């Protein structure tokens, strides 16, 4: 599957979309859901929670393993995706539309530290067995 | 280099995600393990279980030898093809393996053992044979493949795939087997559904699998195998019990027959042992997933989850756990999951039978 060029990425397999109002929408990549398998439980952070960059803030569990999701940048959680929490399989069906939470970044410039699609692609290829 | 089964190439051709399963190159799924699980409960699934090992015991005196080798009583097997589930114990009463024994005739019994314990089991059985019954021939059958065909439509699809098999297996009761030419068809399984475990010459396996796919059966991997067996309340050796555990603390007292004077390896240890723990079923009441080794907190002390998963049929997390005695079904306990204590309820298992929830 092609890695969307309009998104940013982290080395821990989160994707980030910068919205027009500067807020960030965060999910996990297709590669991540593929490794984990069928999702059965997702816990997103509550709105209002303040996160540091790299802080563990969500859990995605498949039948075989639990995996932590990390905040891509520091900020405040403004929304959690209740639909995905109720139907975790949405992440398997379309990882790039099944967002987990929305974040108001502490500093707009922090997004610049994230990987672009090409860099993320290289990362995935280097991890391939 | 990982060990291959006669079906490894076919699994890859079918797009399976392969894993190293105890040194074997095995399919964990062919896409969605949850879909495969549902296919077995609703229709028919196929599992490659060729990594497990059939072992043939031949000669005069096999029955007598097996009377002392295993904890269940082979004298329950008096009609040809009848099978028995048993543990094989060491002198301390610990479980070396759990296995199924098929009585074919007085000079031929077949025992199917687990993949991860096969070498250990053979060495043990040979040592016991050398000590007590030197005339018995023990023949591991690595020349055979084994395919499990499981689900409410398994029998119908098998009969379409194998012309002539219907007449010979239509009335085959669960836990019985029959030999049909080069094939050994056993009405046994690890899913809680009707079905067969079929042992056939290795080179016949790919064609057999493909024929069943043509009849509408679904390829299923080890992921679905685990969620199915746990729903069905079946132990997994190496996880729910091992050599350090007694069958009496592993939910397997029903497989230990001490009604007669029959001596068997491990009996003395069991009779003089004090049982302080029990294996129970758990259902998680909060949201999350129960997994092996999570701590269980009960009013009588701590325990541990031995096997846990998310049950696709029940849409809840279930587990088997070894906990102190004195906690009964219906009572609540707590399970520590990622530093939080979540509520779970003790239940009798199996959790699912013939596709229906029992809890």
Digitized pLDDT (tens) for each residue of chain B, 359 residues in all: 899 999 999 999 999 999 999 999 999 999 999 999 999 999 999 999 999 999 999 999 999 999 999 999 999 999 999 999 999 999 999 999 999 999 999 999 999 999 999 999 999 999 999 999 999 999 999 999 999 999 999 999 999 999 989 999 999 999 999 999 899 999 999 999 999 999 999 999 999 999 999 999 999 999 999 999 999 999 999 999 999 999 999 999 999 999 999 999 999 999 999 999 999 999 999 999 999 999 999 999 999 999 999 999 999 999 999 999 999 999 999 999 988 999 999 999 999 988 889 98
Instruction: Tell me which chain B residue has its CA closest to the CA of residue A93.
Output: B32
The answer to whether the CB atoms of B32 and A38 lie below 8 A apart is yes
> Is A66 within 8 Å of B289 when comparing Cβ atoms?
yes
Task: Write the burial class of residue B40 (CB in 10 Å: 0-12 exposed, 13-18 middle, 19+ buried).
Answer: buried
CA B200, CA B212: separation in Å to the nearest integer?
14
Q: What is the dihedral of CA B7, B119, B56, B100, to 10 degrees?
A: -80
B131 by Cβ neighbours in 10 Å (0-12 / 13-18 / 19+) ranks as exposed
Closest-approach residue (CA) in chain B for A39: B34
Nearest to B303 by CA among B240, B243, B237: B240
ipTM: 0.83
Beta bridge partners of B319: B282, B308
Chain B residues touching residue A64 (CB < 8 angstroms): 223
Of residues B21, B10, B1, the one with CA closest to residue B219 = B10
Smallest Cα–Cα separation from A100: which of A70, A55, A63, A62?
A: A70
Domain ranges in chain A are: 37-80+94-107
User: Cβ contacts of residue B211 below 8 Å, gap of 6+?
Assistant: B161, B162
Ordered structural domains, chain B, with CATH: 8-45+143-231 (3.30.1360.120), 276-357 (2.40.30.110)
Are B93 and B143 within 8 A, CB to CB?
A: no
Chain pair A-B, CB pairs under 8 angstroms = 35
Q: In B70-202, which ranges are continuous DSSP H helix?
A: 118-132, 154-161, 165-169
- Select the residue from B289, B305, B335 to test the A interface by mutation, using most A Cβ atoms within 10 A: B289
In whole angstroms, what is the distance from residue B199 CA to residue B218 CA? 19
Report the distance separating Cα B111 and Cα B100, nearest Å: 6
**Which residues have a Cβ under 8 Å from the Cβ of B88 and sit 6 or more positions away?**
B69, B70, B71, B95, B96, B97, B98, B99, B121, B124, B125, B265
Burial of A71 (0-12, 13-18, 19+ CB in 10 A): buried
Whether the pLDDT of residue A129 is over 90: the answer is no
Which residue's structure tokens are 């007292």? B253
Cis peptide before B350 (omega within 30 of 0): yes
- Cβ distance A38 to B33 less than 8 Å, yes or no, reads yes
Residue B309 has its nearest CB partner, among A43, A63, A66, at A63
CATH number of A37-80+94-107: 2.40.50.100
């Amino acid at each position: 599957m092609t890695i969307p060029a309009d998104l940013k990425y982290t080395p821990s397999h989160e994707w980030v979309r910068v919205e027009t109002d500067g807020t960030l929408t965060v999910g996990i990549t297709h590669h991540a859901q593929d490794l984990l398998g069928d999702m059965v439980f997702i816990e997103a952070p509550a709105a209002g929670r303040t996160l540091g960059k790299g802080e563990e803030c969500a859990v995605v569990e498949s039948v075989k393993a639990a995996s932590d999701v990390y905040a891509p940048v520091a900020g405040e959680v403004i929304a959690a995706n209740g639909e995905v929490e109720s139907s975790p399989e949405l992440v398997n069906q379309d990882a790039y539309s099944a967002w987990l939470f929305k974040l108001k970044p502490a500093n707009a410039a922090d997004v610049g530290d994230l990987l672009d699609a090409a860099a993320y692609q290289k990362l995935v290829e280097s991890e391939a067995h | 280099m990982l060990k291959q089964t006669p079906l490894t190439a076919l699994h890859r051709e079918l797009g399976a995600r392969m894993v190293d399963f105890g040194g074997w190159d095995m399919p964990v799924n062919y896409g969605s393990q949850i879909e495969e699980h549902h296919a077995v409960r609703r229709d028919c699934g196929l599992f490659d279980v060729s990594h497990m090992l059939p072992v043939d015991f031949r000669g005069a005196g096999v029955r007598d030898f097996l009377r002392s080798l295993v904890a269940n009583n082979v004298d329950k097997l008096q009609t040809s093809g009848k099978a028995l589930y048993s543990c094989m114990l060491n002198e301390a009463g610990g479980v070396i393996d759990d296995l199924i024994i098929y009585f074919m005739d007085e000079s031929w019994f077949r025992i199917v053992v687990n993949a991860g314990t096969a070498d250990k089991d053979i060495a043990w059985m040979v040592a016991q044979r050398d000590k007590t019954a030197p005339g018995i021939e023990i023949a591991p059958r690595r020349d055979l493949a084994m395919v499990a065909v499981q689900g409410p439509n398994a029998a119908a699809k098998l009969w379409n795939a194998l012309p002539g098999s219907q007449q010979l297996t239509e009335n085959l009761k669960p836990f019985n087997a029959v030999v049909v030419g080069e094939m050994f068809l056993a009405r046994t399984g690890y899913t809680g559904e009707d079905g067969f475990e079929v042992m056939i010459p290795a080179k016949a396996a790919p064609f057999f699998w493909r024929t069943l796919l043509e009849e509408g059966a679904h390829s299923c991997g080890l992921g679905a195998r685990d969620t199915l067996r746990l729903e069905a309340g079946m132990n997994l050796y190496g996880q729910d019990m091992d050599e350090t555990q007694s069958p009496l603390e592993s939910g397997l007292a029903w497989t230990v027959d001490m009604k007669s004077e029959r001596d068997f390896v491990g009996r003395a240890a069991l009779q003089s042992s004090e049982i302080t723990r029990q294996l129970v079923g758990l259902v998680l009441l909060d949201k999350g997933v129960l997994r092996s080794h999570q701590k269980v907190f009960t009013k009588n002390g701590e325990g541990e989850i031995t096997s846990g998963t998310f049950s696709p049929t029940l849409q809840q997390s279930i587990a088997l756990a070894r906990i102190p005695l004195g906690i009964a079904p219906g009572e609540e306990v707590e399970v520590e999951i990622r530093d939080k204590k979540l509520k779970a309820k003790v239940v009798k298992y199996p959790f699912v039978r013939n596709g229906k929830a029992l809890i």
